[in-house]
């Protein structure tokens, strides 16, 4: 194990112990690498038990232990804070966008700027509240000047989103815009304008892509198509 990985491992363990001291009996102090790895495995197993007992604890574990201190890509240098995601961990419906913008970087919350306010209205248009759904992005740190996420940034950050999906287990995912749509359904299905409103499958979950709210702010004429997509989502959400 390289020195830097070992340092990260020690840091993860320290955070875990501090955050969970009342919940877990931690093994005796580990001073060598072998014991640290044993302790890390113990943490992982406990974490997985956590996931099985509560989605909310699973998300907290993921956020606090894995995401909050992440420095895997260049965006960690310019970000003010991580934007992990928010909403109901028990939700049947998850919205997935691209990356945080300036407001999100300032507040640590997803979709709170102008586009976010529009997303809230879109959610309310199908008789749901924002707190009823879960909202996240593929990328957890703001790209400078709101540029598009780069391929390597998506590759490094997307495993966090995959974990969020596997903890929440939504029945429906609505991807917002090109980047999250391509990540979830693949790059070979066509442009967002041709896939929006259609049903796809991601690991047994129904996926319906639609336009990103930022696009709708620039192209208000596309709101009608988004409304059609949302009616389809509403039908699936309330079908039982
Ligand atoms: S964008 Fe994702 S991978 Fe990059 S530093 Fe932030 S959390 Fe880590």
Return per-residue pLDDT of the chain as tens, 240 residues: 556 556 666 666 666 666 655 555 444 445 567 776 777 677 666 655 555 568 999 999 999 989 998 999 999 999 999 999 999 999 999 999 999 999 999 999 999 999 999 999 999 999 999 999 999 999 999 999 999 999 999 999 999 999 999 999 999 999 999 999 999 999 889 999 999 999 999 999 999 999 999 999 999 999 999 999 999 999 999 996
Cα of 178 from ligand 1 centre, angstroms:
19
Q: Report pTM.
A: 0.81
Residue from 140, 149, 152 to probe ligand 1 pocket by mutation (most atoms less than 8 Å from CB): 140
Burial degree of 30 (CB within 10 A; 0-12, 13-18, 19+): middle
CB-defined site of ligand 1, < 6 Å: 67, 70-73, 75-76, 82, 139-141, 153, 156-157
- CB burial readout 170-208, b (16+ within 10 A) else e: bebbbbbbbbbbbbbbeeeeeebeebbbeebebeebbbb
SS3 219: coil
CA 145 to chain centre: 21
């Amino acid at each position: 194990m390289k020195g830097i990985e070992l340092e990260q491992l020690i840091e993860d363990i320290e955070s875990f112990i501090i955050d969970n001291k009342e919940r877990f009996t931690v093994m005796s102090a580990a001073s060598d690498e072998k014991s640290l790895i044993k302790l890390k495995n113990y943490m992982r197993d406990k974490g997985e038990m956590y996931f099985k007992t509560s989605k909310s604890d699973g998300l907290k574990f993921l956020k606090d232990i894995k995401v909050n201190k992440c420095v895997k890509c260049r965006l960690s240098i310019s970000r003010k804070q991580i934007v992990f995601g928010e909403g109901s961990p028990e939700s049947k419906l998850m919205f997935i966008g691209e990356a945080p913008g300036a407001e999100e970087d300032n507040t640590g919350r997803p979709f709170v700027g102008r586009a976010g306010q529009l997303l809230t209205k879109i959610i309310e248009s199908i008789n749901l509240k924002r707190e009823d759904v879960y909202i996240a992005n593929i990328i957890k740190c703001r790209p400078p000047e709101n540029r598009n996420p780069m391929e390597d940034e998506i590759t490094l950050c997307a495993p966090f989103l995959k974990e969020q999906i596997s903890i929440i287990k939504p029945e429906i995912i609505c991807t917002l815009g090109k980047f999250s749509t391509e990540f979830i359904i693949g790059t070979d299905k066509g442009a967002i304008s041709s896939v929006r409103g259609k049903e796809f499958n991601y690991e047994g979950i129904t996926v319906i892509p639609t336009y990103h709210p930022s696009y709708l702010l620039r192209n208000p004429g596309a709101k009608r198509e988004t409304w059609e997509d949302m009616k389809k989502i509403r039908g699936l959400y309330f079908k039982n």
